[in-house]
Amino acid sequence: MKESDLLRYLLDNQERFVTSDELAGILSLSPRTIRNYVKVLKTKLALHGAVLESKPSFGYCLHISHPVTFDLFLNKNYQLSQWHEDNTEEIDIADRQKYILNKLVIENKKMLIDNLAQRLFVTRSTLSKDLSIIRKKLIPYALTIENKPRSGIFITGLERNRRHFILDYFFTHNDNSFQHYMENKSFFKKINFDQITIIVLDECRESEIHLTDFTIQNIVLYIALSIQRMAGGFELQPVELDNNLETRQVYIVAQNIIHRLENSYHLQVPKSEISYLTIQLLAKGKNINVTNDDALGADLEFVLQQIEETTGYQLSQDYDLKKNLIAHLKPMIVRLEQGLQLKNPLLQEIKTNYLHYFLDVKRYVNFSHYLSKFDINDDEIAYLALHLMAAAEKYRNLNKPKVLLICATGYGSAQLLNNRLEKEFGKRLNIIGIKGYYEVDDAALNGVDIILSTIDLSTQIFKTPVIQVSIFLTEHDIRKLEQFLNNSNDNSRQLSNVLITHSNKNQSTNYFDQFTDVSRFKIWQTSTDREDVLNQLSDMLLINESAGFKQELLDQIAQRELLSAITFNDVIAVPHPARAISKVPKIAIGVIPSGLKWSNLYPNIKLVFLLSPSYLNNQGLMATTQTIVQLVENSTQQSDLVAAKNFSDFRQKFILFMKGGKSK
């Protein structure tokens, strides 16, 4: 509901006051309705660890006084909303339309106009206006609303178009968070997203089909929806596929994915589902076994020459640009031929800040023999614009501190960030690699001094400093990077205070004590092993969690270790999940003075910090994790902590180091 959206927006903008007009625009509500919601929220929050401050002419600002209390309240009351028909008098226009579409498209209901108006507590005239707006939303998907006197209103159209609409309307977010895409538990109650993701990654990697993080999420979400729809008895119509080498190769991959899912979900999947998943993979993947189309290359060359004549940029001589555009255009044309077009989470930012590039590309596509025959939406245009923006800002790379870029939305956007970094920091940074989250492993991190990520990695712990930035490298990002580089004193591996954004060292004690206590601490006086330590430490984190939490935590830790090492040096191990699963952030600490064998490479680990970040909010956790990372370079402090007599002694030494002091 809107109250949940309002609270989440305030939570994302804690550092500033937000006006009622801004909130009204973001949430599609009137300022008066915003004030009513704020009045209710103020009372609730005051009892649950937060204060909603209001200041005339400035607006509202959320202050969290006790993060753990607030997180528990947030988890209990503000999960992804579900429909509650007994409160329909509070549903506004956007919510009414979503409710109607939920009934007509997802549940496939037939509803009498008068009954629906009564249920929504609106007049028949108001409902007619809502239906008029909904009809316009459905037109691009070839779906229509029919109205029969006896049966009422219902949706007609192909199942494939229904699924396309459901994904675009109900599950599109302007957030790069993995959690946002993968965790709509109110809809996908019996779907295991981690399992589907692993299956997709396994089969695509085996066949060398490369997917960006963003498209992996789209594929997994599409498969989850397909499973849900098939379980409800909705089947796709038969679809014809081209009989060429690439299609046959990808069909085998889709077939392998479907067969593994059939065993997991006890489904009998028709061939039409395999064919349509093939189309999705062709449209969104890049198969390196298939050579580029010469005709497409010639068409691209012609378009680049037209751009070159207009702008003066030597684009036709840019080999990397042409290679990247060919890789992008091949699956794009498959999408367009099948009536599919991607959503772009960067669209609004590109239109707002880089409109001239967007408009240029929109004009240049008309020069293309292949693209000019399609009605291409703005999202796809924005993806092409990223390639032009990257080419326009290209600068020569210099060999400076080594930087790894992690980007979820594809090579074009990563290349844009790369080139903007070179423009602003060309004399100080060297970009040595561009990876998606799922591609980050020990080999990718080898020799890296700084990780720059466009996605939130605050729940992941790396030995290398991590700085989150926008792909557009905003002024705020530039200042943050400048401060980091200035404070690092020519040693990029040394953590800087710039990463502890919005935290106060005077709050260190408060944060540490909220994440751990004596009940989450143990010193092993006798020999032990890795399994025993993980088992006992995970038992310490079970309070307020579900019955299956422990096993999921251990599974997620194993998955995280497959990506890259969680042993930070010969003494310290920091096991943590690949995906945040806790309601509140927690840390369990194990001290093993005699050491334990973590692996063949690390036979003498003495400090184990088991971290379980929250999937809601991790305020203060970064300050604590950075202290752990700083321990890697301080053997004296490591020895002091290993020698701690009890929790109180350990706590005192850790907090002193956290504040920048030294043990006595």
Q: Where are the domains of the chain?
A: 2-65, 85-157, 166-287, 294-392, 402-499, 505-658
Range 489-510 average pLDDT: 41
Do the Cβ atoms of 462 and 440 come closer than 8 Å? no
Q: Each residue of 36-91: pLDDT tens digit?
A: 888 888 888 888 888 899 988 889 999 887 766 676 677 666 543 333 334 433 34
Say whether pLDDT at 336 is over 90: no
| Chain-centroid distance, C-alpha 133 | 30
111-117 average pLDDT score: 86
Tell me phi and psi for residue 491, to 5 degrees: -125, 90
pLDDT digits (tens, 9 = 90+) for 432-481: 778 877 777 777 788 788 888 887 777 777 878 888 888 788 888 888 88
572 CB-near residues (< 8 Å, 6+ apart): 605, 606, 607, 608, 609, 628, 631, 632, 638
Q: What is the DSSP letter of 236?
A: P
Identity (one letter) of the amino acid at 473?
L
| Domain 166-287 part of CATH 1.10.1790 | yes
Whether 85-157 shares its CATH topology with 505-658 is answered no
Residue 408 above 90 pLDDT? no
CATH of domain 2-65: 1.10.10.10
Provide the terminal-to-terminal Cα distance of the chain, rounded to the nearest Å.
54
Q: Is the pLDDT of residue 27 over 80?
A: no
pTM (2 d.p.)? 0.49
DSSP summary character for residue 139: G
Pick the CATH number of 85-157 from 1.10.10.10, 3.40.190.10, 3.30.70.20, 3.40.50.720: 1.10.10.10
**DSSP three-state, residue 67:** helix
The more confident residue out of 363 and 26 is 363
Share of the chain above pLDDT 70, in %: 84
Residues 6+ apart with CB under 8 A from 472: 349, 353, 354, 416, 417, 420
What is the structure's pLDDT at 597? 94
SS3 at position 238 = coil
Residue 491 above 50 pLDDT? no
Predicted local distance difference test score (pLDDT) of residue 172: 57
Most confident by average pLDDT, 76-85, 208-217, 483-492: 208-217
What's the CATH superfamily of 402-499?
A: Response regulator (3.40.50.2300)
* Chain CA centroid to CA 549, Å: 22
Confidence of residue 663 (pLDDT cuts 50, 70, 90): low
Angle between helices 411-425 and 378-392 (to 10 degrees): 30
* Residue 576: band (very low, low, confident or very high) from pLDDT cuts 50, 70, 90: very high
Q: Is 29 left (phi over 0), alpha (psi -120 to 50) or beta?
A: beta
Task: Sort 131 into a burial class: Cβ within 10 Å, 0-12 / 13-18 / 19+.
Answer: middle
Superfamily designation of domain 505-658: Mannitol-specific EII; Chain A (3.40.930.10)
Please state the rounded mean pLDDT for residues 355-374: 88
What confidence tier does 177 reach under pLDDT thresholds 50, 70, 90?
very low
The number of residues in the chain equals: 664
Per-residue 3-state assignment (H helix, E strand, C coil) for 308-356 = HHHHCCCHHHCHHHHHHHHHHHHHHHHHHHCCCCCCCCCHHHHHHHCHH
Residue 313 banded pLDDT, cuts 50, 70, 90? low
Condensed to tens digits (0 to 9), the pLDDT of residues 121-141 reads 778 888 888 899 999 888 888
Domain 294-392 classification at class level = mainly alpha
Q: Comparing 374-388, 390-404, 428-442, 490-504, which segment has the lowest mean pLDDT?
A: 490-504
In this structure, what are the phi and psi dihedrals at residue 344, rounded to the nearest 5 degrees?
Answer: -120, 110
Averaged pLDDT, 250-257:
89
Q: Does 269 have pLDDT greater than 90?
A: no
Residue 645 has pLDDT above 60, yes or no: yes
Q: Which residue has the tokens 């009809």?
A: 135
Task: State the pLDDT at residue 575.
Answer: 93
Give pLDDT, residue 392. Answer: 72
Q: Which residue has the tokens 């178009």?
A: 161
Can you tell me the distance from the alpha carbon of 18 to that of 57, in angstroms, rounded to the nearest whole number?
10
Name 521's bridge partners.
589
pLDDT above 50 (res 236): yes
Q: From 345, 358, 430, 432, select the one nearest 392 (Cα to Cα).
A: 358
